[in-house]
Amino acid sequence: MPKLGGLGVAVLGSGMAVPGKVVTNQDLEKMVDTSDQWIVERTGIRTRFVAEEGVLTSDISEEASRMALERAGISPEDLDLILVGTNSPDTLFPSVAAKLQGRLGAVKAGAADVQSGCTGSLYALAMGASFVASGVFKYILVVGAEVLSRLVDWNDRNTCVLFGDGAGAVVLGPARDEGLSGRVLGFSLKADGAKHDLITLMGGLVEHPASHETVDQGLHWVKMKGNDVFKFVNREIPPFLDGFLGEMGFAPGDVSSWVFHQANWRIMEGVLRRLGVPEERAVVNLDKYGNTSCASIMMALHEAIVSGRIRKGDKVVISSFGAGMTYGAMLMEF
């Protein structure tokens, strides 16, 4: 059963950060063979934020984390664990989470990165919620952060129009009655590794160690079979979400807000239509930030909370999908 047992767990505070450089569709028109109309019609994206030279994933992770900790009223010294979902860490090792632990002064916290495609931050949320529910840890910082602009081929119009940089963070802890906190009711995590070749970054590690040849072949850039990803999501995600909610004892119509991975509006619209859910129930910030991968659900959740979009008593589904292929969902009640 996907229901979370044990102690009550909730999102106690949230935060987000984006770098300072904005890249518009009009800017991309000058770089590759594309147009604002083409990008908007096919993705819904109008702008995205790109990290300036020298800005790292750990930098924007720290900014989002400090906001989340402040809003939760939790000191870094009180944290027991830091989990960072990312596909664009500063380095493979040390982890972003370990660097973040040191910067925050979270002296008693463990730290680990979670890499599971764009679903990485949802996997990290589920892991964190399980730790708190078990009573092993009390306060956990979960971050989704990306500087994917460094891993995108800006001459490839199929990918460079999609991605942006950013970070979102939440503090998980024991559920409390005061204020607006999102109690985790349950979650489900899935994967279909037979589709591992749909979204890839092949160069630089064990299978294709870095060499002149891997650079020349473009193996150090994100590659995506866009049509196949679109078909996979529209085939797999609607029945998965319907089944997940059914196991939790709810129907899609019971959900007030849907916080989807902000990958493509046409994908979100297709999933909503198949579930019979009105479009206005989707939390959408894709137009401003583009696809920020692991950061997207965290940033969308934060904006929905601070804007008042999510209110006391609302049931909220967070759902994502990504390279692997991985996917999952979490149900919260605020």
Write out the two tokens for 95: 């982890």
Confidence (pTM): 0.97
> Measuring CA to CA, which residue among 306, 312, 4, 324 is closest to residue 179?
312
Say which residues have a Cβ less than 8 Å from residue 93's Cβ, sequence separation at least 6.
none
Check if 9-179 and 183-333 are the same fold: yes
Instruction: Provide the pairing of β-strand 326-333 with 315-322.
Output: antiparallel
Domain boundaries, the chain: 9-179, 183-333
pLDDT of residue 180: 80
Which two tokens mark 179?
A: 């204020």
Q: Answer yes or no: is pLDDT of 290 > 80.
A: yes
The pLDDT of residue 28 = 97
- pLDDT tens, residue by residue, 140-159: 999 999 999 999 999 999 99
pLDDT of residue 67 exceeding 90: yes
Question: Among residues 53, 20, 24, 56, which one has the least CA distance to residue 40?
Answer: 24
**Gyration radius of the chain's alpha carbons:** 19
Of the candidates 54, 56, 61, 63, which has an alpha carbon nearest to the alpha carbon of residue 85?
Answer: 61
Q: What percent of the chain shows pLDDT beyond 90?
A: 97
User: What CATH number does domain 183-333 carry, 3.90.1150.10, 3.40.47.10, 3.40.50.2300, 3.40.718.10?
Assistant: 3.40.47.10
Query: What are the pLDDT digits (tens) for 18-66?
Result: 999 999 999 999 999 999 999 999 999 999 999 999 999 999 999 999 9
Q: What is the per-residue pLDDT for 176? A: 84
How does residue 13 score in pLDDT terms, banded at 50, 70 and 90? Answer: very high
Angle (CA) 186-119-300 rounded to 5° is 80
Query: What are the distances in angstroms from CA 240 to CA 43, 139, 187, 245, 324?
Result: 23, 30, 12, 9, 16
Separation of CA 252 from chain center: 21
Q: What percent of the chain has pLDDT over 70?
A: 100
Per-residue pLDDT tens over the stretch 89-128 = 999 999 999 999 999 999 999 999 999 999 999 999 999 9
Across the chain, mean pLDDT equals 97
Instruction: For the chain, list the strands marked E by DSSP.
Output: 9-17, 21-24, 47-50, 81-85, 110-114, 140-146, 166-174, 182-191, 199-200, 223-224, 257-260, 315-322, 326-333
pLDDT value of position 8:
96
Cite the active site residues.
Answer: 118, 261, 291
Angstrom distances, CA of residue 281 to CA of 13, 232, 258, 275? 22, 23, 6, 12
DSSP designation for 138 = S
Options 3.40.50.11540, 3.30.70.100, 3.40.47.10, 3.20.20.20; CATH of 9-179: 3.40.47.10
If you average pLDDT over residues 153-167, what whole number do you get? Answer: 96
**Mean pLDDT computed over 192-206:** 98
Query: Is 181's pLDDT higher than 90?
Result: no
Q: Is the pLDDT of residue 1 over 80?
A: no
- DSSP class of residue 118? B
Confidence category of residue 178, pLDDT binned at 50, 70, 90: confident
SS3 254: helix
Determine the pLDDT at residue 177: 78
**pLDDT of 179 above 90:** no
Query: Residue 313: left (phi > 0), alpha (psi -120 to 50), or beta?
Result: left
pLDDT for 31 = 95
| HEC per residue, 178-233 | CCCCEEEEEEEEEECHHHCCCEECCCCCCCCCCCHHHHHCCCCCCEECHHHHHHHH
